[in-house]
Chain A
Amino acid sequence: MAALVKSQQVRCKVLKMQRKHTVSRWQRIGIAFVLYGFAVLLGLGSAWWVLKKAPWMVQSVQVGAWKTNLLAGSPDADIYTRATIALNALLALGRDETMYFVAVQDDDGRPLRSHCSYRVEGAPPKAKWWSITAYADDMFLFDAPNKQYSLNGTTARLDANGRFAFTTGVQKQAGTHWLPTPGNRGLVLTLRLYNPEPDLQAAPASLNPPTIHVFGGCA
């Protein structure tokens, strides 16, 4: 009898130890829930990172400081290009209608900042009409006190060599067309070419790109 009781006691002790070292059903469900939640967050986060922070994922052509996406607005665009365009340039037109060149760096490869002054200079591109617009890094217009947001084929004054120039920055630079970019944040310049000539459509790298240089330093 005593042996039987002892045997029961040992069995109970073993069961208690097993319970102590095994995970309950609810704990398992909780761990699975956390792991799957983490997996979903990782999937969403990696999508956001690819679309916002990994421009190399989207096929583009670079000319000087300017980049253009050849499949913007096109039904041939892959899902990454389509999503990137939807986030950064929704309702873009195909390149046979309009070409978009975007610059986020100057000609020396330094990121464009709104509190720095830049001189942008170039020859009118081969298109029916063109414009260069200054955007903040949220892809919306700066709150320009003079309501000047862009230079275009109508407002640009060409010099004796047939070239246009303008400056961006917090303060106006004397003698130039000025696009105010108040604040201290990222700056994005967008060159639009409406009805670009066929040879430029076929070879976007043949664009004679406007130059972008720091002019007068940073405020």
Chain B
Amino acid sequence: MKDFTDQHRLWFYRVLTLATTVVLVHIAAVWAVPRVIMQILMHGPIAQSMSMQNQAAFPPPVTAQSRTVVMPSPDLLYSVCVFDVTAGPVRITAQPNLKSYWSIALYAANSDNFFVINDQKSGDKPVDIWLVSPSGSPVERPIPTGAQVVVAPSKTGFLLMRVLTGNYESEKAVIEPARRTLVCKPA
């Protein structure tokens, strides 16, 4: 009778261990998906080729061949930067001066959109953001009056600037210089 009971107990623990493994792997995979995708986006071969570590990059307009990020909008002109506040704050400035929609959105390493500023929120003022580390960043020089300090939830993350373009070819002369006012560099 004792052997019978031990045998059942052994099988119970075996099945429990396997079931726990399934659940833990499932949760770990779901948790890891956005982080892995963001890592590939920020440090993958395409990011490396565009040199966008603490530096703004200006990809060409979206076409059917654009396959870096899912659901690219053909009506937007994108500008990008991978920020890293490990060594100190990153300063983001821009002055698009466009009447149509534009926005600068910041994403954490887990893909959360933690900050966004757009044409309506900024008004006519130039954008001046000082992005600092969640654990605090040493600021070697004073932050200018009017600049906005934003705490990044992760040390690295992604900046995406969107500029609306109904017809890129006809608007190119206006929107290309406007988006290239974006600067993203260590402060």
Contact = CB atoms under 8 A, between A and B. Distances in A.
Interface string B1-29: 00000000000000000110111111111
Interface stretch (B71-79, B85-93, B128-136): B71-79
B70 A90 contact: yes
Contacts of A97: 103, 105, 113, 116, 118
B21 A39 contact: yes
B71 to A, nearest CB: 5
Interface of A: 35-36, 38-40, 42-44, 46-48, 50-51, 73-75, 77, 79-80, 82-83, 85-94, 97, 128-129, 131, 133, 135, 138-144, 147, 149-150, 152-155, 190, 192, 194-195
What's the interface size class on B, roughly? 35 or more
A86 B33 contact: yes
Contact of A91 (B23, B63, B160): B160
Contacts of A92: 113
Contacts of A83: 30-31, 33-34
B118 A75 contact: no
Given A74-B112, A86-B37, A154-B166, 5 more contacts: A39-B25, A91-B69, A128-B101, A140-B70, A149-B62
A192 B74 CA distance: 12
State the main secondary structure of chain A at its contact with B: mixed
B173 interface: no
Contacts of B70: 87-90, 138-140
Contacts of A85: 34, 111
Nearest to A130: B75
A133 B119 CA distance: 23
